[in-house]
């Protein structure tokens, strides 16, 4: 179980709402998000930031790539969060929800010119950049508009977190950022510091995702402060530092996530040590949690359609969703916990493969999953699916995207409407 789930009258509940009732009312597949769990995570991160660095001396930026819709952005605004957006579409969604532009950081690795112009025109607070060509384009666009943009350089600190290789982003062999150890980052900072239209305000790193250890974050902080000191010696003063996100969550019982405050306590202590040793003032600190805010708050509901047993090999439980609404198993072999929502109080007496509906042999949500005996018509629930599920959904096989409901204190409201066939074909010519 997760923080937002429970069992009542034999049924799985999310945020106090019965999953079987939700499936009947809104249909399946269905993403269910618990608002209280989202808000609690935001408040825990913000409280630890204020405690460790001082109130007003840092900003927690929710990484909208994890899960982005207007309702989520409204919640972030209400909680006083920043937003880390990685596309013009995410910026548009946040602004359309009334989110303050100055609290948005635009971070991506290959922005289009029109996205850069859009961000500048809308007054986005910071733009994070990871290649020299983009820095010159930002300079030209900003200068042409008579504006100055607060720019943050994305760096590769050379720290490898113990996580899945596809989500390790801080090592030298990564498409993201300027490498510190090769001298690339220092050359870029010196080259861009005097460009018109650019205020080189900060540096940023993100070492990976689903990290359950503190040491990689501490090491990354050491490297980043060392680089800030090197820039100071070149006459370049850095005022902002973002140490990214990547804090791990519990997908299965094998995951042992730490309280988020533990990361902050240890990393802030190391940051203060570095500042004292190097003679630096503490910069304005930022972190960018995404999965750790959204994932534990989410559950995806499916209707079981078929049961297929291959003796001595597999039992396939077919559901009405799959890689269209959750491609993470196909991409990363990500593990999940599943429950039959209408039999949640019964023992998990089978080991099954949860199979999707698309015409693709790799369309699986999980293999070797313990589950209650499942039959056609049952409601299957996959836990901790609030991040990188809706965000990565596709129209493969022309399957419409699922709806999203937000639950609070047992009451549900629609956050994203279910798509229709007409929606899928809407832009066809």
Assess whether 359 carries a catalytic annotation: yes
How many Å apart are CA 160 and CA 170, to the nearest integer? 6
Tokens at 168, concatenated: 């390790």
Q: Under 8 Å CB-to-CB from 12, ≥6 apart: which residues?
A: 5, 6, 18, 19, 20, 299, 339, 341, 344, 381
List the one residue out of 266, 396, 274, 376 whose CA is nearest residue 326: 396
The DSSP line for 359-403 is S-TT-EEEEEEEE----TT-EEEEES-SSSSSTT---GGGPPPPE
Q: Which residues of 119-153 are buried (b: 16+ CB within 10 A; e: fewer)?
A: bbebebbbbbbbbeebbebbbebbeeeeeebbbbb
103 within 8 A of 288, measured Cβ to Cβ: no
Query: Is residue 308 within a helix (H) or strand (E), and if so which, with residue range?
Result: strand 298-310
Q: Under 8 Å CB-to-CB from 61, ≥6 apart: which residues?
A: 81, 82, 83, 84, 103, 105, 242, 286, 287, 288
Catalytic residues: 359
């Amino acid at each position: 179980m997760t923080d937002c789930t429970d069992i009542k009258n034999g049924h799985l509940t999310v945020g106090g709402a019965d999953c079987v009732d939700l499936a009947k009312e809104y249909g399946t597949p269905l993403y269910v998000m618990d608002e209280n769990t989202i808000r609690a995570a935001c408040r825990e991160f913000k409280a630890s930031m204020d405690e460790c660095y001082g109130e007003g001396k840092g900003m927690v930026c929710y990484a909208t790539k994890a899960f982005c819709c207007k309702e989520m952005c409204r919640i972030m605004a209400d909680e006083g969060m920043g937003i880390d957006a990685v596309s013009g579409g995410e910026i548009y969604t946040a602004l359309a929800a009334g989110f303050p532009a100055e609290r948005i950081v635009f971070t991506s690795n290959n922005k289009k010119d029109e996205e850069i112009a859009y961000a500048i025109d809308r007054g986005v607070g910071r733009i994070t950049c990871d290649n020299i060509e983009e820095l010159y384009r930002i300079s030209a666009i900003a200068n042409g508009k008579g504006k100055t943009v607060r720019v943050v350089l994305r760096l590769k600190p050379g720290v490898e977190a113990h996580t899945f290789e596809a989500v390790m982003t801080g090592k030298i062999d990564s498409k993201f950022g300027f490498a510190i150890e090769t001298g690339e980052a220092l050359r870029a900072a010196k080259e861009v510091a005097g460009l018109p239209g650019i205020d080189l305000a900060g540096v940023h790193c993100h070492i990976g995702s689903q990290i359950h250890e503190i040491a990689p974050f501490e090491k990354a902080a050491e490297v980043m402060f060392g680089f800030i000191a090197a820039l100071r010696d070149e006459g370049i003063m850095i005022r902002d530092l973002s140490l990214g996100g990547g804090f791990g969550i519990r997908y299965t019982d094998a995951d042992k996530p730490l309280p988020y405050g533990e990361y902050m306590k240890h990393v802030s202590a190391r940051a203060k040590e570095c500042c004292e040793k190097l003679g630096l003032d503490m910069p304005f600190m930022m972190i960018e949690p995404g999965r750790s805010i959204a994932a534990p708050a989410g559950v995806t509901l499916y209707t079981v359609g078929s049961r297929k047993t291959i003796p001595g090999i597999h039992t396939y439980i077919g559901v009405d969703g799959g890689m269209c609404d959750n491609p993470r198993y196909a991409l990363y072999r990500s593990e999940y916990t599943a429950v039959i929502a209408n039999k949640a109080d019964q023992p998990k007496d089978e080991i099954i493969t949860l199979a999707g509906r698309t015409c693709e042999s790799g369309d699986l949500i999980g293999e070797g999953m313990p589950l209650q005996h499942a039959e056609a018509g049952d409601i299957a629930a996959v836990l901790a699916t609030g991040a990188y599920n809706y965000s990565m959904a596709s129209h493969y096989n022309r399957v419409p995207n699922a709806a999203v409901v937000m639950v609070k204190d047992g009451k549900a409201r629609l956050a994203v409407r279910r798509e229709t066939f007409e929606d899928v074909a809407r832009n066809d010519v």
